[in-house]
Structures are given as C-alpha cells and as structure tokens.
Amino acid sequence: MVSLHRFLVVNITVFSINATDLKKILNEKTLDKPAAPNFEDYFERFISRQKNSDGHSLKPNTVKKYKSFYSHLLAFSSCKHFKLDISRFDKEFLVEFKEFLVSVQKLSDNTVAKYVKAAKTFIKFYIQEGIIRAFDVTQVKSNEREGEVYVLPIKQIVELQEFQFKNEVLNSVRDIFCFMCWTGQRYSDIANFKRKDISVNTNGEKVWKLITTKTDESITVPIISYAEKILNNYQNDITPLPVMSNQKMNKYLKELGKKMGYESLIKIVKYYDGRKKEIHVPFHEILTTHVARKSYITNSLILGIPERVVREVSGHKDEKSFRRYVNLAETYKTNIINNAYSLENISKFL
C-alpha cells in the first residue's frame, strides 16, 4: 500500500513538473512572437521606406501630403464604420475611397486626384511587398486639371517695392515677396537662403547659388539690381532676408494686397466631380508666395528671355507644367501688339 502511494506521489509530481515546464515554454513562445502589425504600423513603414524618383527619402512636404492622405483614410473608415486594415485595400476599396472624397468630403477634382494618387502609390508599394493582392490601380481614374496662373505685372511689382507701409511686418513681407518676383524661387528656398549662398561670377555679377529644397537641383540665380536693392536693406542682419512661416507670409500678403488696392476681380475655376464651378474674388484674396514665382516666370517670358534660360533659373523639369506659362506670356504679347497696332495708335502716324 505504501509502495503504491509512493508510486502515485512520484507520478503526480512528475506530471506536475511537466505541466509547469510546458506552461513556461508556451508563455515564452507567446512573448517571443511579435504582435501582428496594425494599419498605422504599415503606414509608418511605407513612409520610412518609400523613396522619391531619385531614390532618396521623401521630402517633408511629401510626407505632409501622405499624412493628410492618412487623415482622409481615417475619416473614410469612420464614416463607413470599419477599422482600417491592410487586407481591405483592393479595387473596390479604392473606388469607394474616391467616391467618399467626392461625395462626402466634397473636394475639388484636383484634390481628389492628389489623394487617389497617394492611395495608388501606397497600394503599389504593398503589392510589391506581397502584402496586398495585385490589381490594376490604373483602372480607377482621377482627372487633374491645370490651375490658373495669376501674375503681378512688372509695373505693379516696382510700385509695391517702392511703397512704404506703416507696419514694419508688412514692409518685410513686401521685401520678401518682391525678391521672389525678381528671382523666381520657391518660398522653401527663400526660407533656407544664407549669405554664403551669394557669390560673384566671372563677370563680376552677384548670383545666388542654391540646391533647391523640393528637387535637389543645383541652380544659379542672377541677382538683378532690384533684388540687390532689397538685400541691402538687411545687410547688417544674420540672414539675407527676414524669415517667417509660409502660412504667415500668405496671411500678410492678403492684407498687403488689400492695402495696395488689388481689387480687380479674378475668376477662379474649379471642378467638382467633373462639374465646373466659377467664382470671382478680388486679386488680394489669391495673393500668395506662389504668385511671386509665377510672376517671375511669366514676366521673364514676356520680356523675351528664352524659355531654356527661364527654365534653368526656375528649375522646371516638366515641359507640360512650364508650357502654361509660355501660353500666358504669348497672350500678353498678343495684347501688347494688338494695342500697339490699334487704329487709334496707327492714326497718329497718318
């Protein structure tokens, strides 16, 4: 009887040890096993591994665009009452996401095209990774239309540069804007402008040499006399020009434009789900740093500077996007010629 008892105790004890060991092993295996990635993990991985066309990491503005795309995805999933999951991304998902942007968010066609393009890039990345089942993303169409080009004529730029505001902030904003009108660079490059970037070429002329923030392209910009005059206002400062955020610049530019009397009505055309919508607003409401860059390009072409030279300074690689400036400049030239050869002017010589 004692022997049987001992036999049972020993066997029970052995069984108990084995169970503990087994539980410990299972726990260790569970802890070692990584948790399945959620959608946010997939998105962050996409941002960190996605490269631009040159093979470099994404620029801050591109990352910002994708973050905005992510916000729209969250709004989409909330509206449709489902949790974002990488397995949902198929053709039907892309179609419904586009429809959400159009019908619920009521975004313009250009904005819809921007986010659909971002979605396609995200999907193609994970198709290549073998995470999303392959399908033809080009079957989901989104049309992007060229925006209007708004220009400040040279005469008005000169008048603006010579105008003195009572508000010193507006004087600084005026100087930055006019400098952009004489050099044609993006505001991101103006914000990174350093004194060491200014040099003198073999002809003894001042130039601004920069590597563009958006495209990493090396550009040499002539500093014409009007631009140099602006730089002279800040010759004792650390930076060649005052620095503020682009958002603040655009806000002050609208105030500046209103004080300058830029009240001529500008037609703004946008398309929503293919339907054209027109509104008219005073010019000061559309005054932004982009207007300065577009003014430089258009005014340079109007003055007869060769397209190749203007493109080298502006850094335009895309022929299609540059062509609209050429067309606009030709329109201005046509107006000038027609006015010069009007019957009224011709009669003066008769």
Q: Please name which of 284, 252, 251 lies closest in space to residue 266, comparing C-alpha atoms.
A: 284
pLDDT of the residue at 215: 80
As a CATH number, domain 154-340 is: 1.10.443.10
pLDDT of the residue at 336: 65
Q: Which residues lie below 8 Å from residue 329, measured CB to CB, with a gap of 6+?
A: 298, 301, 302
What is each CA distance from 341 to 331, 337, 344, in whole angstroms? 15, 6, 8
- Express each pLDDT in 222-269 by its tens digit: 999 999 999 999 999 999 999 899 999 999 999 999 999 999 999 998
Alpha-carbon dihedral angle through residues 52, 49, 45, 130, given to the nearest 10 degrees = 100
The CATH number for 39-139, chosen from 1.10.150, 1.10.357, 3.40.1310, 2.10.240, is 1.10.150
Distance CA 36, CA 41 (A): 9
For the chain, which residues make up each domain, given as ranges?
39-139, 154-340
Residue 148 has pLDDT above 60, yes or no: yes
Q: Please name which of 171, 167, 189 lies closest in space to residue 180, comparing C-alpha atoms.
A: 189
pLDDT of the residue at 21: 63
- Express each pLDDT in 302-326 by its tens digit: 888 888 888 888 887 666 667 777 6
Distance CA 50, CA 279 (A): 38
Mean pLDDT value of segment 87-109: 95
